Amino acid sequence: MKIKQIKVFICSPGRNFVTVKVITDSGLYGLGDATVNGREMAVVTYLEEHLVPCLIGRSAHDIEDIWQYLYKGVYWRKGAINMAAIAAIDMALWDIKGKVAGLPVYQLLGGRSRRGVTLYAHANGETIETTLDMAEEHIKQGFKAIRLQSAVPGLNVTYGVLGDKKDYYELQGNRPLPPEEDWSTHKYFNMVEDLFRQARERFGNDVQLLHDVHSRLTPIESARLGKLLEKYNLLFLEDASMAENQDNYKVIRQHTTIPLAIGETYNTIWDCKDLIQNQLIDYIRVAATHAGGITALRRITDFASVYNVKTAPHGAPDLSPICFAAHMHLNTWAPNFGIQEFVGLGNEQIRQVFQQDIQIKDGMAHLSDAPGLGIEFDESAAKEYPYRRSYLPVSRLEDGTVWNW
């Protein structure tokens, strides 16, 4: 079964997605997600100009060989654009293999390890009270784990919070240039403990709580935050600090037992190797789209299991439903799965373009037994939503210094 054609699509059903369709001479095809938020066209060009010509005529069954060929063969290893392109091809090939076998991909990985996939929902608001009102809605719907993000008083916009202007990065409006947002660590510390204290007062101890720092703190500041929040019993603290230097997490670990999670921007196992093998983190959050597909995530997952690190795949809206499907198969299989981030199954336009049968019940997600990844992509619906250039925000300290967004 040979690869006959590879199509690359970019569409914007509310936000931009890059989708790859690998078509074989048997007529079977597979789908993959190659979206890199804010840099979409770089991946489209990279695929069309550099990867696709090398793949026509190869056996669609050689998933591992194709992965190695694209990874080792490029010489310029790693990188967000390169790894997203490899990831999309890889997902599509797993999709094809599942369709040939007549089995969902999780069966090819080793079968089911659990009844369903536990999700955590997002609650965010302009005040602590409205954040907790949203959390209460999720709890009523059956969610057992909630990420809390609340606006920092005195800052123009806060990461993860839908501001007055509704200009939240998740929506991707008309953004000819990156918007800019303020950051103040001092003001953040004045808010964040109250958020979790009030959450525990209101909801008690059963619900699992999470928080995303979005890399705004230095390691010693993260350590201080970890100590402050230990008594509120978080499932994990996400992206407490940047970890290009993986030793940063040693500083945090020396001071606090708060569980730590990181990895949504990572592209390969090498970005998290030290963090995992030194047991400096508790959850690895790599995404199939950004870290090299199902083949790469399976490898990272097995490596992490040796060191008691669980998986908690990134689940933001800029990962397409194809990536979510890939995560669902990995999560259903992985013996060391932890939790899946979840922001809903997309708006009406997204569900028109990407069709899949995933059931959400009592805070868990369940796959159908459709073969492959179990997702369809409607090419003509996608054409109705043309690409629009859009950027993630840039962060600055109050004196104008560029900071981590």
| Residue positions annotated with a catalytic role | 159, 214
Binding region for ligand EZ4 (CB under 6 A) out of 14-22, 275-283, 295-303, 311-319: 311-319
What values do phi and psi take at 294, rounded to 5?
A: -70, -40
Nearest in space to 155 (alpha carbons), one of 179, 180, 128, 184? 184
103 alpha carbon, distance to own chain's centre: 25
Tokens representing 288? 């199939």
- Our finding on whether 37 is near ligand EZ4 (CB under 6 A) is yes
- Our finding on whether 271 is near Co ion (CB under 5 A) is no
For the bound state, the minimum distance from the C-beta of residue 238 to Co ion, rounded and expressed in Å, comes to 5
- Answer with the entry of ligand EZ4, Co ion, none that 35 interacts with (C-beta below 5 to 8 A by kind): none
Q: For the chain, how many residues are written?
A: 405
Q: Which of 220, 358, 392, 394 binds ligand EZ4 (CB under 6 A)?
A: 392
Residue 276 near residue 303 (C-beta atoms within 8 A)? yes
- Our finding on whether 212 is near Co ion (CB under 5 A) is yes
CA quadruple 209, 215, 216, 221: dihedral, nearest 10 = 80
Half-sphere exposure of residue 135, counting CA atoms within 13 Å on the CB side? 28
Q: Are strands 364-367 and 375-377 parallel, antiparallel or unpaired?
A: unpaired
Residue with Cβ nearer Co ion (99 or 290): 290
Residue with Cβ nearer ligand EZ4 (24 or 395): 395
- Our finding on whether 318 is near Co ion (CB under 5 A) is no
For the bound state, the minimum distance from the C-beta of residue 341 to ligand EZ4, rounded and expressed in Å, comes to 6
Nearest in space to 120 (alpha carbons), one of 89, 151, 81, 146? 146
For the bound state, the minimum distance from the C-beta of residue 169 to ligand EZ4, rounded and expressed in Å, comes to 7
14 alpha carbon, distance to own chain's centre: 18
**String of contacts with ligand EZ4 for each residue 211-230, x by CB under 6 A:** -x-x----------------
- Our finding on whether 242 is near ligand EZ4 (CB under 6 A) is no
For the bound state, the minimum distance from the C-beta of residue 392 to ligand EZ4, rounded and expressed in Å, comes to 6
Rounded Cα distance between 72 and 65, Å, is 10
Residue 80 near residue 36 (C-beta atoms within 8 A)? yes
- Answer with the entry of Co ion, ligand EZ4, none that 282 interacts with (C-beta below 5 to 8 A by kind): none
E strand or H helix at 81 = helix 80-101
**String of contacts with ligand EZ4 for each residue 246-275, x by CB under 6 A:** ------------------x-----------
Residues that bind ligand EZ4 (CB under 6 A): 37, 212, 214, 264, 314, 316, 318, 341, 392
Residues that bind Co ion (CB under 5 A): 212
